[in-house]
Amino acid sequence: PTPFTSTTGTTTYYVGQTNNGCPSPRVPVTVVVQPKPALGADKIVRICYGGTADLTNLYNTSTLSNNTWLHNLLPVNDPSSVNQEGLYYLIGSNTAGCSDTAIVNLIMLPPVIANAGPDADAEYNYPYQLQGSGGSEYLWTPGRPLLNNQSIPNPLATLTETTTFVLTVKNELGCSDTDTVTLRVLRGPTFYVPTAFTPNGDGLN
């Protein structure tokens, strides 16, 4: 007979033989089914570019007598701070020697690159549209009252003096990057004459 092993506990089986119609004494065979640890389902973990992941808080290993993390078939020295993409295997066993395995797929997202647009000239007290890109969530500072909406990629800036804006962008995981743009306010109806160009070398244009 094959013992039923999906239920833990102790079961006693008896075995005997018959020879020419004469039965032998029965001999007891005790089978103990030990509980198997259940770590849980496999998981996918995403981290920001250049970041690290803590694998130790993904599964409850407090009831295990031994647990080991493997990556590329090699032991992981510090599972609380890993940054290499790929599959990580957690092998846990209890005092009875029964074990279970869980797999974590670690994915590193591409870097977030904020782009606040090039520096530009804006007319005095007249709306100028900023051009931001690089993420799914945006925050411009300073915000109101200089901007009509500081949480969109392309807000309108109404300025009375030259201002530098800082754009912070985030992706869906919260990974972020920043960029700056300076709007120089020109007061009309005057002319702006750049001083970088001086034909005769006297420092004046």
d(CA 74, CA 175): 29
Return the ∠ at Cα 158 (arms to 156 and 160), rounded to 5°. Answer: 160
Query: For residue 189, what pLDDT is reported?
Result: 63
The reply to whether omega before 110 is within 30° of 0 (cis) is: no
pTM (predicted TM-score): 0.69
User: Do the strands 99-108 and 43-47 form a parallel or antiparallel pair, or are they unpaired?
Assistant: parallel
When pLDDT is cut at 50, 70 and 90, the band that residue 6 belongs to is confident
Strand partners, 169: 138, 177
Helices H / strands E in the chain, number of each: 0, 15
Query: For residue 191, what pLDDT is reported?
Result: 59
When pLDDT is cut at 50, 70 and 90, the band that residue 132 belongs to is very high
d(CA 27, CA 17): 10
Span 157-203, pLDDT tens digits: 999 999 999 999 999 999 999 999 999 998 866 555 666 677 787 77
d(CA 56, CA 61): 9
